[in-house]
Structure formats: C-alpha cells, structure tokens
Structure 1
Amino acid sequence: MRATQTPEAVDGQWNRRRFSNKQKQAIVQQTEKPGVSVAQVCRSHGVATSMVFCWLVEFGLTARKAPQPRDGDVRRRCGQ
C-alpha cells in the first residue's frame, strides 16, 4: 500500500523555516559587527551562509566579503 503524501511533502517545503523581515534584519545586523564572521552568526542561528548573503542583497546591503556579482546572477541564486 502506498502512503499518501501531503502537499508539503510533495513540493519539498515541509521542513523549511520561515523568517520574518524583523528576524532576517536582526541576523544580518549581527554579521555587520566588527570582528564577527558571517559563518559564526549563521551557525548560531542554524541558517546557511548563502541564505544570509541573499538577505543582504534583499535588504540592499553589499556582502562585505563576497565579490560583487552581476545583477542577473544574484537573482538566479537567491530565487528572485
């Protein structure tokens, strides 16, 4: 007998965490402090570094350690 999958299981989004803009901004602000690495902040919140760099772009900030990508590249990588 085959198990019925829920819509969340079918599209693969059942385990994704959702962050409000306020939560995203708080995490991004922590990365802007001198001497703090983005990786440390991400580990403490259980977030992928790539996600935080996407949030930096989303809020119009530049990633301090990443090279400036072309406009189309950012949109593709960050799901925009």
Structure 2
Amino acid sequence: MEKKVKQSTENFIKDIRRKTRRIFSSEQKIMIVMEAQRGESSVAEICRNHSIAQSVFYKWNKEFMEAGKKRLAGDTAREATSDEVADLRKENQRLKEMVADLMLRYTIVKKSLDMLD
C-alpha cells in the first residue's frame, strides 16, 4: 500500500515540475548565450541569474554555434524546393475549390429543405 502512495506522490511531483517548467523562446536562448559570449560574467553566474542548469546552457551554446557554423559554411538549403512549393500551391487551390463546391451544395440542400417546411 505504501508503495502505491509513494509512487503516485512521485508522479504528482513530476507532473507539477513538468507543468511549471519555464519555456524559453529562441530569442531568450540567444540572449543568454550571447551574454556568455561577451565574457562579462561567468557561465555559472549567468545560469544562476536565469535559473537554468549549466547543462542546459551548454546545450543551447552548442546548438547556437553549430547553427552559425552551418550558416557560414553556406548550408542554406531550403526545406522545400520550388517544384514542391508549386505542387503545394496547386493542391491548395484544388482544396479551396473543393471547399467552395461543398459549401455551394450545402447551401442548395439547406434552401431546398427550408422550402419543404
């Protein structure tokens, strides 16, 4: 019996931690990493000021540096090619036409049913 109570208590605490965890925007992460790049404060002090673990800071720093390295190396490939974009636009137009057709049919059916009443 004690095991179930302890387990549920631990899960409860984990749920609270998960729900109250702060989410940093990409801009906030960049500002924190750039603060360390300036060298005016130690990493430990910056982490204390922003209430983050040093491991989190170093993860952000690594991601920031890798993204910069890729950008400087000319890795600017787009995620969608122009052919894919054109195909998506055609599909979008086709779907819009289908929706318009369905709305028109719906209106006609609704009016015919109103006339029966």
TM-score range, shorter chain: 0.5 to 0.7
Question: Which residue of 1 is the match for residue 15 of structure 2?
Answer: 9
Structure 2: stretches of 5+ with no match in the other structure: 67-117
Q: How far off its partner does 1:35 sit?
A: 4.3
Q: How far apart, in 2, do the equivalents of 1:58 and 1:34 lie?
A: 19
Which residues of 2 match residues 1-80 of structure 1 at below 5 A? Answer: 9=15, 13-60=18-65
Greater RCO structure (CA 8 Å; 6+ sep): 1
Q: Distance in 2 between matches of 1:22 and 1:58?
A: 13
The alpha-carbon deviation at position 9 of structure 1 amounts to 1.9
Percent identity between the two aligned chains: 33
Amino acid at match of 1:9: D
Bigger Rg, which one: 2
Query: For this pair of structures, how many residues does the alignment match?
Result: 57
TM-score, normalised on structure 2? Answer: 0.41
**Alignment root-mean-square deviation, CA:** 2.7
Alpha-carbon offset, residue 59 of structure 1: 1.1
Unaligned runs of 5+ in 1: 62-80
